[in-house]
Amino acid sequence: MPTTQLYLASGSPRRKELLAQIGVQFTRISAPIDETPLLNESAKDYVLRLAKLKAEAGWQAMLEQGLAALPVLAADTTVVLDGQILGKPIDALDAIAMLEQLSGRSHEVFTSLGLRTDTGTEVVLSVSTVTFMPLSPAQIAAYVASGEPMDKAGSYGIQGTAGMFISDLQGSFSGVMGLPLHDTAALLARHGLGFLAA
């Protein structure tokens, strides 16, 4: 059986699939944190802070559970429109409101990575610009009724049905999904982990 190289402090099925895609052997570790933005905190500072906190919470959980000491990788993704963070929708009406805002416009997706090792925590940021086609009320209603938007930042998943709404993408497709593969591989390689470190 392959040797575990690190812990992944994320419950996201998309992040698990992406990390496995680049050949990293990992074990998931639970490390819940308070994700409430701070007063007047910028989206960039918010996403960087959360990735760092998640990685450090995973490290603490590893120590408390007496697990083998391995690096802890965490990530956080947020959708940003006009400087405002669009988180996961609280209900269908919230999802509709977010999609109406995104319709026919460009927005940014920030995904930060945090890697906690015995020497500290390194944090990196991936920024992508995503442009939506104009969406009709009926298109938005049908998409929300599918249930797909409900657990996703900005109320959409690029890897799902909403992929057809995206007329332009500048940056990282996998970053918009929640784990930028190039940045992740490069971060791990700097710490002697993963395929690029070979």
- Asked if residues 179 and 78 have their Cβ atoms less than 8 Å apart, the reply is no
User: Residue 63's pLDDT is what?
Assistant: 96
Active-site choice (76, 94, 118, 151) = 76
Fold of domain 6-197: Maf protein (3.90.950)
What does the domain layout of the chain look like in residue ranges?
6-197
pLDDT value of residue 1: 40
Predicted TM-score of the model (pTM)? 0.92
168 annotated active-site: no
> What are the pLDDT tens digits along the chain (198 aa)?
457 799 999 988 999 999 999 999 999 999 889 999 999 999 999 999 999 999 999 999 999 999 999 999 999 999 999 999 998 999 999 999 999 999 999 999 999 999 999 999 999 999 999 999 999 999 999 999 999 999 899 999 999 999 999 999 999 999 999 999 999 999 999 999 988 876
